[in-house]
Copies of this chain bind each other. A is one copy, B any other.
Amino acid sequence: MKYIKIFSPGSVANVSCGFDVLGFCLDNIGDEMLISKTKAPGIRISKITGQDLPMEVKKNVAGVAAKAMLKYHPVKFGFEIEIHKKIKPGSGIGSSAASAAGVVFGINELIGKPFSNHELIRFAMEGEALASGSYHADNVAPVLMGGFTLVRSIKPIDVIKLPYPSELRAIVLHPKIELRTMHAREILKDKVSLEKAISQWGNLAAFISALYTKDFDLMSRSLVDEIVEPVRSLLIPEFETIKKAVIKEGALGFGISGSGPSVYALAKGSKNGNRIAYKMKSIINQLGIDFDIYISKINNQGIKIISD
Contact = CB atoms under 8 A, between A and B. Distances in A.
Interface of A: 17-22, 150-153, 158, 160, 162, 188-195, 197-206, 208-209, 212, 218, 221-222, 227
A21 B205 contact: yes
Contacts of A189: 194
Contacts of A206: 150, 152, 158, 160
A224 to B, nearest CB: 9
A162 to B, nearest CB: 6
A221 B201 CA distance: 17
A205 B20 contact: no
Contacts of A205: 18, 21-22, 150, 152, 201, 204-205, 208
B150 A21 contact: no
10 contacts: A150-B202, A152-B203, A153-B221, A160-B209, A190-B193, A190-B194, A191-B191, A192-B192, A192-B197, A208-B208
Contacts of A188: 194
Contacts of A199: 153
Contacts of A17: 201
Contact of A209 (B151, B162, B200, B222): B162
